[in-house]
Structure 1
Amino acid sequence: MEGWLLALALGAGVQWARRREQQARIERLGRHLQGNPLERLMAHVLDGYLRALDEGDTQRRQTLWAALEATERELAAAARRLAVSFADVWPDDALVSTLPVALPYAHKLFPRATFDMRRALQLHADGIAAVVDNASGRSRRDRAYTLTAEALLLQHTCHWYCRSRAVASARLLARHRTSYAQVLDAVSPQTRSAYLALLGR
């Protein structure tokens, strides 16, 4: 009986510590997103892509693509501002555990199994900016496809920072019917390479 009570108390303590850490991370990231229209711009761009791709009239489709260009540039600027703002976070508070299970303060207990959120946000901002600039000459459809993946990977990283990789992947699948692996496969080769290197893969 005493062992059962001890296990119950230990489990409750772990849950409490995990919720406390997650809440602190949510609040920290929220402070850096305050006043930043990143999420609104992301939703606007993704919805705009769906409308443009579904449009049967060529002239109307071109008009929709043209109207999205300014919003894409705003999205790139918003991602850049988040990266710059978050760069000032204390290094220990920027570490994210890569362990398959969410443990409280895992970044302190297993510092080798972490990635730096500051660097992650920077590579996401660089990836979005590169797709928007389109120096590689992607077609409008391919550009939309790649930028969608870049934006969703950024969103996944933010959810991973606040909760866990499992929760981030589940939210991605539930909200966008897209798996983490599909998103990672669809971003630009430069983003994918930098991202996997950051995760130590």
Structure 2
Amino acid sequence: MDILIALALAFAVFAVLRGREQAHRIALLGRVLGPYRIEPMLESLTEGYLRWLHEADAERRAQIWGTLAATEQTLAAQFSRFAADFARVPAPQAQISKLPFALPYAQPLLPGRWLFDARRLFELHARAIDALARNTAGLPHKERAYRMTAELYLMQHSCHWFCRSKNLASARLLARHRSSYAQVLAAVAPETRRDYEALVR
């Protein structure tokens, strides 16, 4: 019985510490994201791509695409500014654990090879989104929409990973978008996937 009580107390302390750290990280990210409309534009784009894809009228499709292209440009500009703002976060607060689960306040104790820098991660996402918004690869509309959706989902996964953990971020990705982490990673630009894997693995 004493062992069970000790385990219950240890779990309770762990849960409290985990909640405090996650609340701090959510507040930090929210403070930097505050001036921007990144999340609403992400939803607008992903829903808009589906409307465009299922629209039969050619004129209406062209109108929808024009709106989507403008939103892409705005989102790319805002995310680039967000990444520049986040780059000013002190290094200790920007570290993310590569462990799949949350371990409260473990970053200062983990070896460097088990950590990566969220500032570099968000900079990577900013470059990828900007390149697609400018369509530097000359992709057809359908492929560009598919790839941008994957880039945005991966960026959202990174935000959740920073705030909570890799496992929880992957679970939320699957629950919200019916896409697995592996599927999204396979669908982004090859350059994104290469740089991303070099950073987080």
Residues in 1 aligned to 2:95 and 2:33: alpha-carbon distance in whole angstroms: 18
Pairwise CA distance, 1:121: 0.3
Residues in 2 aligned to 1:106 and 1:126: alpha-carbon distance in whole angstroms: 30
Residues in 2 aligned to 1:126 and 1:165: alpha-carbon distance in whole angstroms: 22
Pairwise CA distance, 1:181: 0.6
- Which residue of structure 1 lines up, in the alignment, with residue 97 of structure 2? 97
Q: For 1:64-83, what aligned pairs fall within 5 Å after superposition?
A: 64-83=64-83
Residues in 2 aligned to 1:6 and 1:39: alpha-carbon distance in whole angstroms: 42
Give a deviation string over 1:43-94, Cα, whole Å, max 9, x none: 1111111100010122221221112111110010111111011101110110
- Which residue of structure 1 lines up, in the alignment, with residue 171 of structure 2? 170
What SS does the corresponding residue of 1:101 show, helix, strand or coil?
Answer: coil
Matched AA of 1:54: H
Residues in 1 aligned to 2:99 and 2:106: alpha-carbon distance in whole angstroms: 8
What count of residue pairs does the alignment treat as equivalent?
Answer: 200
Residues in 1 aligned to 2:129 and 2:135: alpha-carbon distance in whole angstroms: 10
Matched AA of 2:70: A
Pairwise CA distance, 1:134: 1.0
Pairwise CA distance, 1:8: 2.0
What's the TM-score once normalised by structure 1's chain length? 0.96
Matched AA of 2:199: L
Pairwise CA distance, 1:4: 2.7
Q: Does 1:147 align with 2:118?
A: no
- Which residue of structure 2 lines up, in the alignment, with residue 156 of structure 1? 157
Give a deviation string over 1:3-61, Cα, whole Å, max 9, x none: 33222222211111111000000000000011211111111111111100010122221
- Which residue of structure 2 lines up, in the alignment, with residue 136 of structure 1? 137
CA RMSD of aligned residues (A): 1.1
Q: Does 1:17 align with 2:17?
A: yes
Q: Which runs of 4+ in 1 moved over 6 A?
A: none
| Unmatched 5+ stretches in structure 2 | none
Matched AA of 1:97: S
- Which residue of structure 1 lines up, in the alignment, with residue 86 of structure 2? 86
Residues in 1 aligned to 2:145 and 2:100: alpha-carbon distance in whole angstroms: 31
The share of aligned pairs that are identical, in percent, is 49
Matched AA of 1:55: E
- Which residue of structure 2 lines up, in the alignment, with residue 123 of structure 1? 124
Pairwise CA distance, 1:135: 1.5
Residues in 2 aligned to 1:100 and 1:122: alpha-carbon distance in whole angstroms: 22
Pairwise CA distance, 1:107: 1.7
What's the TM-score once normalised by structure 2's chain length? 0.96
Moved more, 191-200 or 2-11: 2-11
Matched AA of 2:188: V
| Unmatched 5+ stretches in structure 1 | none
Residues in 2 aligned to 1:135 and 1:22: alpha-carbon distance in whole angstroms: 37
What SS does the corresponding residue of 1:138 show, helix, strand or coil?
Answer: coil
Pairwise CA distance, 1:191: 0.6
